[in-house]
Amino acid sequence: MSEFVARLGTPDGAIVVQRHRGASAEAVRRDLEGRGFHVFTVRPVRRGWRVPLLRRRERIKPLEFLVFNQQLATLLRAGNPVLQSLELLERAQGNAYFRQVLGRVLEDIKGGVALSESFHAQGDLFPRLYSASLLAGERSGELVSVLDRYVKHQQMMENVRRRVTSALTYPAVLMTLALGLIVLLVTYVIPRFATFYVQFSAQLPLQTRIVVGTASWVNQHVIPLAVLLVATGIVVRRWVASERGRLRLDRVVLKVPFVGEIFHLLGLSQFVRSLATLLAGGTPLVNSLEIATSTVTNRSIQAPLERVAPRVREGQALWSSLETTGLFPELSIAMVQVGEATGALEEMLFNVAHFYDETIEVRLARVVTLIEPAVLVIMGGVIAALLMSVYLPMFNLLNYAR
């Protein structure tokens, strides 16, 4: 069963966009017409991340989406109607795929569908946080303010993501270069030294025999090893794409020394900042909790947060519901409790998110300080051991020649 988005005319004359599951678009159309709806369009849900492994992925980059929202807010602030603003941005859009998506959004709006519903109908291409923010802006008449707030949210999350990526890039480059050098030694340098030693009938030390034997075996089985690596990569990627595999991987990530704590704080920052943004835009608390939970990328953090909204719906205080997850530090819970008591919850949540961001930056600096020398020492030791095993017999030959 596939998922489809249908633009419908209801019996009372309203135009709505809904999601339905069915064997095909035609089957969904027949089912809806049989229930009294007038069906305008039925199309499959677009899922930007679920694409075959070797296929070129069509997607909208976060920076492109950020610029789009900045431009949309500017046009609306200048007094341009929503439809005209979107048409201008569609024509100016450089990403062909994004331009195609905006064309579908415009088609829906011209058919009478609200802006928030039009973006929500595009499936997983746009975050739920975005369509929910637009809906709050439409209801309050403060669409420009909501867009400005969402742009600020995007900028903050992008800055945090960029800092994390930048901090971990240098150690990753060091490891890649070191592994590349090890592969070069094993596949090219060591076999030639082995041939040289055979010509002299030299008695090789144990460590040299182990290294030479390993290098010889690798060179004889290059193709099977390459196939095995590719197959393993495909299997691992498909496993990670599954819900169970992703949950297990995220749990492992959170347990990695030093790095796990950073990803834990990053998940909390995503949740708290999204929640604050939604509440500031006028979205009800329970809906905000559900949407903010969906923005958390780590499944191990997301699972406990999914139990917060039901507790709040039953009448439990937000700070108490968050405390039961066991995810938040005591200071954060205390700040949320004060925010609830004083009626300044949105402001306090923004302060909590800012606190998490600053903590992430401090922890990142500490991790980089520890990782860089550790990578250099470990990789340098491995390379030095390989080189010593290769050159040691040569020193023995020189001593023998004397």
Q: Are 344 and 361 in contact (CB under 8 A)?
A: no
> Average pLDDT for residues 82-89, to the nearest whole number?
90
Give the model confidence (pLDDT) of 303-361 as tens digits.
999 999 999 999 899 999 999 999 999 999 999 999 989 988 988 998 998 899 888 88
Enter the tokens of residue 210. Answer: 């182990």
Give the model confidence (pLDDT) of 6-53 as tens digits.
777 777 766 677 777 777 777 888 888 888 888 777 777 655 434 344
Helix or strand (DSSP H, E) at 243: helix 243-255
Residue from 6, 8, 45, 10 nearest 26 by CA: 6
Q: How many CB atoms lie within 10 A of CB 360?
A: 22
Give the model confidence (pLDDT) of 266-319 as tens digits.
899 989 988 988 888 888 899 889 888 988 888 899 999 999 999 999 989 999
The C-alpha atoms of residue 13 and residue 204 are separated, in whole angstroms, by: 88
Helix or strand (DSSP H, E) at 2: strand 2-9
Give the model confidence (pLDDT) of 363-399 as tens digits.
888 887 888 788 888 888 888 888 888 777 777 666 6
Q: What pLDDT does 333 receive?
A: 92
CA distances from 304 to 315, 326, 328 (A): 18, 8, 11
Supply the angle between the helices 243-255 and 259-280 in degrees, to the nearest 10. 120
Residue 8: phi, psi to the nearest 5?
Answer: -125, 155
Supply the angle between the helices 259-280 and 345-401 in degrees, to the nearest 10. 160
**Contact partners, residue 182, CB within 8 Å, separation at least 6:** 382, 383, 386
Give the model confidence (pLDDT) of 179-226 as tens digits.
888 888 888 887 877 777 777 666 777 777 888 788 888 888 888 988
Mean pLDDT over each residue of the chain, to the nearest integer: 83
Give residue 242's identity as a one-letter amino acid code: S
Q: What pTM did the predictor assign?
A: 0.69
Question: In 30-58, which positions are buried (b, 16+ CB within 10 angstroms) versus exposed (e)?
Answer: eebeeeebebbbbeebbebeeeeeeeeee
Give the model confidence (pLDDT) of 226-272 as tens digits.
899 999 999 988 888 887 888 888 899 899 887 888 889 989 998 99
Is residue 153 scored above 80 in pLDDT? yes
Helix (DSSP H) and strand (DSSP E) numbers for the chain? 18, 3
CA distances from 250 to 171, 232, 244, 259, 297 (A): 21, 19, 10, 12, 9
* Percent over 70 (pLDDT), the chain: 92
The C-alpha atoms of residue 224 and residue 391 are separated, in whole angstroms, by: 30
